[in-house]
Amino acid sequence: MSKLFNYSLLQRTLTGLVIVGSIIACVLGGAYSFAVLFSVLIFGVLMEFYNIINISREVNITRWMHSLGGVTLFWCFFLDASHITSLGNNVFVLYLIYMLVLFISRLYSAQQNPIRELAYVILGQIYIALPLSMLNSIAFHSIAIPLGNIEDDYNGIMLLALFFFLWCNDSGAYLTGITLGRHKLFERVSPKKTWEGFWGGCLFNAMLGLALYQASFWGFFGQDLHELQHYSRLDWVGLGLTVSVFGTFGDLVESFVKRAVGVKDSGTLLPGHGGLWDRFDSLLLAAPAMMLYLVAIAFIKTL
């Protein structure tokens, strides 16, 4: 039993290191490596989500087609946010075509309940594709005036900050939960989560926020903090707390869906972690929450 536990822990650790390394490398690698990585991620998470819905046997969703629809939405956001085309918001016509085809094709569907199928497909687009597509807005958010060069306009600092906060929150919540955890956070959905773990994750993220404020921290990753100097220490701490709260909700929502369908893991792609959705569930609510926070901070600073 001890050997099995050690092997499982080693497997989980190695997989986690590969995930962390891949994300950091692709985000720092530039706009296109970021776009390719998260296109693959959106496709994979949607495939797992639609597969879980199919397990319920209520509908039979064509997974690959609607997963590609989510990737289309991501690239519409990418083209719009990066300003590499003169089309502006018109690039979303590509996704609009997909939506038109989606609705019209239901008229010819052989599904027993095409309305339910349509609802699940749209749920996947809103719950998974849209939040992950908003990462583009975070990547290009810090540039007030686009320079016209995608690599100059792209800034990976806030993307890295988002993932650092998520990883720090998970670690803080886990360490605090196993040592001090007594009071259940949401036992009906996730029996292992505790309020002590939640507050521990918030504390860890608050401390990380103070570190991310320092230019020397980002210098280690070869990043220039000049574009983000208008964010104060309090702004960074608030960002960390925002990610803690909504990252936790993101985890709970995934647990809620899996319990409703009756599955433990969303997939088996990541040894020791389950599926892609299992690993990135907290990101699905943390990303839009972070975007709203950055927009709110920018608005407040203009008053």
DSSP string, 148-160: S-HHHH---HHHH
Report d(CA 123, CA 263) in Å as an integer.
Answer: 18
Same structural domain, 192 and 279: yes
Q: Which residue, 97, 126, 147, sits at the end of a domain? A: 147
Same structural domain, 79 and 199: no
Flag whether pLDDT at 3 surpasses 60: no
Q: Which residue, 119, 147, 175, sits at the end of a domain? A: 147
> Could you tell me which of 196, 199, 168 has the C-alpha nearest to residue 184?
196
Express as a percent the part of the chain with pLDDT over 90: 50
What is the pairing mode between strands 184-186 and 190-194? antiparallel
Flag whether pLDDT at 199 surpasses 70: yes
Report d(CA 234, CA 206) in Å as an integer.
Answer: 9
* pLDDT of res. 145: 47
Please count the structural domains in the chain.
2
φ/ψ (deg, to 5) at 255: -60, -40
Helix (H) or strand (E) holding 192: strand 190-194
Q: Which residue, 98, 126, 147, sits at the end of a domain? A: 147
Same structural domain, 37 and 7: no
Report d(CA 28, CA 34) in Å as an integer.
Answer: 8
Which amino acid is residue 6, in one-letter code? N
Apex 107 CA angle, 260 and 54, nearest 5:
25
* pLDDT of res. 226: 64
